[in-house]
Structure 1
Amino acid sequence: MGVVTDFCDTGWGVEEMGGLRELAASFVVPGPSGVAIRTRLKHLTAGDEKVLRLVGDLLGTLASRDLKARCSAGLEHDTKQWAQRKRTLSEQSSSRWAGSITKASHDQWALARRGQLAHIQSLQAGIETIAHRLSVPVGEKGSKQAPGGYRSTREWHAKRLRLCVLEDRLQAVRADREAGVVRVVRGGKRLLNTRHHLQEVQLSEEQWRLRWQAGRRFLAADGESGKRFGNETIRVTPGGEFSIKVPAPLAHLANAPHGRYVLAARVSFAHRGEQWADRVAANRAVAYRIHEDVSRGRWYVTASWTIPAVQTVPLEAARTGGLIGVDTNADHLAAWRLDAHGNPTGNPRRFDYDLSGTAAHRDAQVRHALIRLLHWAERHHLAIAVEDLDFTAETTREKHGRRKRFRNLISGMPTGRLRARLVSMAAELGIPVVAVDPAYTSKWGAQHWQKHLTTKDRKTTRHDAAAVAIGRRALGHPIRRRTAPPPHDRSDRAGHRTVQAEPGTPGREGNRPRIPGPRTRSVRAGRGENAVDQNAQHRSGRSAEHGFWGQDSLPLSL
């Protein structure tokens, strides 16, 4: 089947519960458009590392100058300026290195523009929230639709000052955007600011300098189909031979014909290695990026290429046979299997991960949790419904005020990384991903399913109930359970369960299959299979007593 990703929370419609926002329709998420794999460059000699650093430093300097020129051009940049920049870089390196540098500058400028727009939207949201709360009397309670006033006059005045600060920031950012001005730091703003807090991060100035230089190097080249092994600048042969094109100022470092330097390391990719080898052997484009991990003293190479868009499975096909609803939390994935009618089957599953530690550790934890989840879905040929949570607008101090612990909690949830990982890994296994609206899943799941799924031997958590709600929304069913009749109006008295079958399901009103074996004290084995046939139930006053019944005439003596 497929994996269904819950970007949507279904239950009651807006017309059933007034005041709720309109829910988005479910859809099948398209697969990834590219692939990136990484491996370590082992057995490098001291000479190899020296050459890589020299080439990277030279190209990094050229990339910094080109990025400055691109940012200075702003919105007035055109193809003539791009051609002039590329000619200047070609004289100082080579035409292929110049092409890679100018493309990286364009991508960096575009990324900065998108970040600038997101910052403007964040400032606008904060200003609107503060302005509303300032207009409400101090101490007035809020509602689900809008926040209330501030707790004290002191807090009111502090927020009034913050509103002025945010408005000034918004005005400055808008002016920059209209002028096409962006601010970019090659090497990263975070690492740059770390220079002023070396004692807090336990780094010496020399250690920081090595990381800064490594972050500003440029050792990346785009591939080109039809060229030998898919890349003329950084080349990896099917046998693992690794070589780079040396820029003109460093031509004396070449140790191979045509100005190339061959490294002593042999490259092999464990993950997707066969796909990479097929592309290289067919001379199809493969882009490479080389970087140094200073803290570990290792060098890595990343290969990437684009893949054609995969035709997604229709939504109805992904729903066939049921699915697995998954609720994303700060430390685990809560999952529950549902059949095609939205009924929870079996017991809930939990896939834990630990998001403390380094970024590599967190990424590995998320990946391992998704592997277990996807293998479970693949084993049972099921779809998966997962919330597509986006807390970019939910983590601000203006929205949640003093709830700093809650802001830190939702900020730490790996929603973006988990979504990207899920789509990529599911596409590799041939499992489609369906997205649904995440609204009200936790609230309605706990309201309608948590109590009813809790037994003596199973404690259902709020997250488990949310997984059921997510799965039902992905299947197109309402979240709320079907209302049961009063206990003594059910077919077999108080023991009849709530029916979840659709009206058009064949046999839904028929007799139940006979289930052998011991039952409860009130219902013995074999009883209840004829619950629909009232004549087959030996009840007092029914025609099932198998005897002729008629009313006797009254005696004449009375």
Structure 2
Amino acid sequence: MGGLRQVAASFVAPGPSGVAIRCSLNGLTSQDGKVLRLVGDLLGSLASRDLKARCTAGLGHDSDQWAQRKRALTEESSSRWAGSITKATNDQWALAKRGQLACIQSLQADVDAIRQRLSLPIGAKGSKGKPGGYRSKQEWFAKSRRLHLLEDRLERERADRDAGRVRVVRGGKKLLRTRHHLEAAQLTEAGWRSRWQAGRWFLQADGESGKRFGNETIRVTPDGEVSIKLPTPLTGLANASHGRYVLACQVGFRHRGEQWADRITANRAVAYRIHYDAGRDRWYLTASWQIPPVKTLPLEAARAGGLIGVDMNADHLAAWRLDEHGNPVGEPRRFDYDLTGSAPHRDAQVRHALTRLLHWAKHHGLSLAIEDLDFHAEKTREKHGRRKRFRKMISGMPTGKLRARLVSMAAELGLPLVAVDPAYTSRFGAQHWQKPLTTRTRKTTRHQAAAVAIGRRALGHPIRRRTAPPPHDRSDRVGHRTVQAAPAVPGREETRPRIPGPRTRSVGAGCGAKAGDQCAHNRSGHTAEHESWQQDSLPLSL
């Protein structure tokens, strides 16, 4: 096992820094829908214009330009609407900048992989961790052309990043491209147009601590009354004082409703967003606020009493409970989910699987151990080549969404979450735990063995387990006594450190201070036979 990469230390994952809850706006009148569309369309056009100004400024943008943009928007809306628009624009520009950097890193990885494979002879076998040469001349030629295309794209992206240029589509690039594939998306032009317009509306306002109910622009009272401060050009549509429009519906948050009510009663900041789902023809209200960082539990306290190791796979979560010594306890559990279908269906499947897992962990009062997975560098087709099924599988695994949901849901139940390095958990788990844990009535899978390996790493125990001693006698002629370390590991065959004092009533032979010194004994083949006092052998002529 020489050359294994270094395993990072385990840590307790920090809790979430914010909360978002949503409810539907039921009972809206036609006038309410008309007003919401007009406000969203007006503010959406202002947001598009402000985004253009921010992208034009590029890297030279500063606080003075931000204030100038806000003053320009205030004249056509209000100071609070202008503040929300400019802040959202800055966040969107920063997100596009991070996405641009991720694209550059992905292109650079693809270019390096192709260059490495092109430098090898055709048909050459790959070394450990690196692919070999291409299989045929045709594939080599096709990849050489692809290398030039990727290098051109990489050069353009780097030039854009140096110049501060980003490309952002309000409403979403995916929805924009759907316009050219309406038949495949099973949409009409009118249906696509309604979704496109709804995606470009702007109806969100940041909260303000100290203001009434935590928000002056979109206000929600404890009784569920929703009112909106209309922009200056639309104040003629107000049905309440101070240029406000009160919706005819009453809202109520079922999830975290008590927390939300406590915040608005104390006039603490709560941000709101109103959005329209064109597919369902429904309006929704989302409330969000920041929460103070929760003090994470020490790692030793999270390990106390054992924990539950969890291995995430393409269609299920494999979990096994371990005691504090790293021994599997009870039977393994499997929590299935189906990642086919629409995005809301996939999200619900992941949420239900995590709910069952957390309830099981809460029943036993144990922490959870998961892998700190990141498949961003693994999804490129240049690394795995023809393994399309494998690339599709890891691309379909919602590692980011599952991790974010698990962290927030575990924090809500008060369960610590220990993140471990994913290196070799599946390989060592299958090698050292799959067969020993298989019985007549239970066939242990590779994923269940990986869950044991993850749990042992989180507990601080080695994954590789010891095997039985050789069957004949105390010699190692059958094989090495343990598999804890490979023969090539330095220091493996060294003598054991001497324990001070006799281990029995009388100190037997070989238990002295020089018990491990082979040169101190008169044994054949050691340097003790070649000292100056040793008699020389007789000459062969005698």
TM over 0.5: yes
Within a 5 Å distance, the mapping from 1:117-266 to structure 2 comes to 117-266=101-250
Contact 1:290 1:302 in 2 (8 A): yes
Shifted more, 142-151 versus 91-100: the winner is 142-151
- CA displacement at 1:434 relative to structure 2: 1.3
**Structure 2 SS opposite 1:251:** helix
Rounded to whole Å, the distance in 2 between the matches of 1:367 and 1:430 is: 17
**Structure 1 SS opposite 2:311:** strand
Hey, what does 1:346 align to over in structure 2?
A: 330
- CA displacement at 1:489 relative to structure 2: 7.9
Query: RMSD of the alignment, in Å?
Result: 1.3
- CA displacement at 1:145 relative to structure 2: 2.4
- CA displacement at 1:474 relative to structure 2: 0.5
Rounded to whole Å, the distance in 2 between the matches of 1:145 and 1:482 is: 27
Alignment-mate amino acid for residue 153 of structure 1: K
Pick closer, same or farther for the CA change 1:489–1:250 going to 2, 3 Å: farther
- CA displacement at 1:485 relative to structure 2: 2.4
Alignment-mate amino acid for residue 30 of structure 1: P
Alignment-mate amino acid for residue 74 of structure 1: G
Rounded to whole Å, the distance in 2 between the matches of 1:486 and 1:271 is: 60
Residue 273 of structure 2, aligned match among 289, 292, 295: 289
Rounded to whole Å, the distance in 2 between the matches of 1:76 and 1:160 is: 38
Hey, what does 1:451 align to over in structure 2?
A: 435
User: Unaligned regions of 5+ residues in structure 1, if any?
Assistant: 1-16, 491-497, 501-558
Contact 1:34 1:306 in 2 (8 A): yes
**Structure 2 SS opposite 1:478:** coil
Hey, what does 1:52 align to over in structure 2?
A: 36
- CA displacement at 1:179 relative to structure 2: 0.5
1:383 aligns with 2:394: no
- CA displacement at 1:124 relative to structure 2: 0.5
Deviations 1:297-338 (A, max 9, x none): 110010000000000000010000001001000100000011
TM-score by length of 1: 0.84
- CA displacement at 1:431 relative to structure 2: 1.0
1:427 aligns with 2:415: no
Residue 78 of structure 2, aligned match among 82, 87, 94: 94
- CA displacement at 1:358 relative to structure 2: 1.1
Shifted more, 266-275 versus 426-435: the winner is 426-435
Contact 1:388 1:438 in 2 (8 A): yes
Rounded to whole Å, the distance in 2 between the matches of 1:78 and 1:392 is: 32
Rounded to whole Å, the distance in 1 between the matches of 2:38 and 2:153 is: 41
Deviations 1:157-212 (A, max 9, x none): 10001111111000000000000000000000000000011111111110000000
Shifted more, 220-229 versus 397-406: the winner is 397-406
User: Unaligned regions of 5+ residues in structure 2, if any?
Assistant: 475-481, 485-542
Deviations 1:439-483 (A, max 9, x none): 111111000000110111001000000000000000011101123
Rounded to whole Å, the distance in 1 between the matches of 2:125 and 2:436 is: 33
TM-score by length of 2: 0.87
1:279 aligns with 2:275: no
Alignment-mate amino acid for residue 463 of structure 1: H
Number of aligned residue pairs: 476
- CA displacement at 1:488 relative to structure 2: 7.9
Deviations 1:18-55 (A, max 9, x none): 21111111111110000000000010111101100000
Residue 15 of structure 2, aligned match among 28, 31, 36: 31
- CA displacement at 1:403 relative to structure 2: 1.2
Residue 326 of structure 1, aligned match among 305, 310, 314: 310
Rounded to whole Å, the distance in 1 between the matches of 2:251 and 2:412 is: 23
1:310 aligns with 2:311: no
Higher relative contact order (CA 8 A, sep 6+): 1
Hey, what does 2:254 align to over in structure 1?
A: 270
**Structure 2 SS opposite 1:37:** strand
Rounded to whole Å, the distance in 1 between the matches of 2:360 and 2:387 is: 37
Rounded to whole Å, the distance in 1 between the matches of 2:240 and 2:471 is: 87
Aligned structure 1 segments of 4 or more residues deviating by more than 6 angstroms: none
**Structure 2 SS opposite 1:435:** strand
Hey, what does 1:516 align to over in structure 2?
A: none
Residue 416 of structure 1, aligned match among 391, 400, 419: 400
- CA displacement at 1:487 relative to structure 2: 5.7
Alignment-mate amino acid for residue 12 of structure 2: V
Alignment-mate amino acid for residue 161 of structure 1: R
Hey, what does 1:298 align to over in structure 2?
A: 282
Hey, what does 1:366 align to over in structure 2?
A: 350
Rounded to whole Å, the distance in 1 between the matches of 2:131 and 2:101 is: 26
